[in-house]
Structure 1
């Protein structure tokens, strides 16, 4: 397996780079010498970031739910910047969902963006990476995908799907010389979490999240999960008997 993408700067493509983790990660990696293609739906967000790191960050506006547009964008990036060494698929959204307000449209929008958008992106880079037996992919899911939590039935389900997807693809891609990693953040202070009106245990600043991600991408481990306190708490909850799990999650139900 080639280690070009993890050992030395090359060409990276980051989706969901308009705000939050994606934006901060692009900024950090550009300063470390990477040439970054950034994608998001809002052109002004991308242009603003590109202006902050001139010559190293290149905007490619994109709606990842459009499969044809994703393929075209991947091809344009490769033609204009060079072979994509590292692809970080971070685009996603969150809507609170509940049994008392079971809004299927919210579920559908998260499935379309969080799952299908990621699948479109994977489809755009996997064939070429397999063909050259090299490349590095990182998919951003969430610790909420470990266990079902009240209020996150939609979001958590989409992130659980991504976790399962990556666990399935990992050995297959590895056999073809392609590295796949899974990024599972807990609560990170971003515009996405700023709208939450409930307690967010172990909330960390975005710069701390980026430090975890950058360090993890330089390693060979499969999962990059943080902060450790949140990861330990949620994984422990996943592994306890159901009676104990529900004794805990019942306390999270909003009245």
Structure 2
């Protein structure tokens, strides 16, 4: 009989994190989902009751290091060190240079970037001691190049991309498998708030299947949807003057 995998997913109360938690539970795993809202996590647990696996809600804010430590200690006490940790928690808010808000930029960095580092600070010692396990960090194609009204969000995701690329080989030398996930637009409650056209908007269930397939492959970077990810990669490689011309057109449109 195949051993159930133990999986911890942050940001599991909505969007990609919620869909991942439900799918991994359906596939028979022991899934711990964390988020700030206990009510939303309990709703996920209710909807997972018919699954082959089990979903365990763990209330914790990725910006609260003490709460994260308690959450991880609880997971380890019940099931041991996870086989897979998906650091998915994040948020988005438009940030305009013409209405600059230090508070908004600081909040995006604290949640999207420092929230991941808080989790890494907690999980890495046990992964390195065991010399095994997989960690997936969810960034975004928005981190490839600067885009209008995304200076806060884009900077936080660019920081995650740089972080992943910087530490991957060190972790690999210790048999810890790090993956970087860069989604494009995925239909979630967060993207439902966007007031601009979202090219190649992907259903969340399709995104989850693409992500799980990528984690089961040998790819370091997992991107979806494929066409939009390709276009964003192309934008990253364009000369700066062409990139500036494109963003100038976006701002003027």
- Normalising by structure 2, we get a TM-score of 0.96
Report 1:161-176 matches (<5 A).
161-176=159-174
- The Cα offsets for residues 60-96 of structure 1, whole Å up to 9 and x where unpaired, read as 0011101121122111111012321100000001010
Residue 48 (structure 1) aligned to one of 37, 43, 53? 43
Stretches of structure 1 that go unaligned for 5 or more consecutive residues are 1-6
1:86 paired to 2:81: no
- Higher RCO (C-alpha under 8 Å, 6+ residues apart): 1
Residue 70 (structure 1) aligned to one of 68, 71, 75? 68
Stretches of structure 2 that go unaligned for 5 or more consecutive residues are none
Report 1:214-233 matches (<5 A).
214-233=212-231
- Normalising by structure 1, we get a TM-score of 0.95
Which whole-Å CA distance do the structure 2 matches of 1:154 and 1:191 have between them?
19
1:33 paired to 2:28: yes
Superposition deviation, residue 9 in structure 1: 4.2
Q: Which residue in 1 is equivalent to 2:17?
A: 22
Q: Which residue in 2 is equivalent to 1:11?
A: 6
- The Cα offsets for residues 187-207 of structure 1, whole Å up to 9 and x where unpaired, read as 000001000001111111101
Superposition deviation, residue 8 in structure 1: 6.7
Over the aligned positions, Cα root-mean-square deviation in angstroms equals: 1.3
The number of aligned residues is 249
Q: Which residue in 1 is equivalent to 2:114?
A: 116
Superposition deviation, residue 133 in structure 1: 0.5
1:155 paired to 2:180: no
Which whole-Å CA distance do the structure 1 matches of 2:194 and 2:250 have between them?
14
Residue 180 (structure 2) aligned to one of 164, 177, 182? 182
Which whole-Å CA distance do the structure 2 matches of 1:252 and 1:206 have between them?
27
Instruction: Pick which of 141-150 and 55-64 moved more.
Output: 55-64
Which whole-Å CA distance do the structure 2 matches of 1:32 and 1:9 have between them?
9
- The Cα offsets for residues 197-236 of structure 1, whole Å up to 9 and x where unpaired, read as 0111111110110111010111121011111111111111
* 3-state SS of 1:202 partner: coil
Instruction: Pick which of 229-238 and 20-29 moved more.
Output: 229-238
Which whole-Å CA distance do the structure 1 matches of 2:31 and 2:195 have between them?
34
Report 1:171-210 matches (<5 A).
171-210=169-208
Which whole-Å CA distance do the structure 2 matches of 1:142 and 1:58 have between them?
27
Runs ≥4 in structure 1, deviation > 3 angstroms? Answer: none
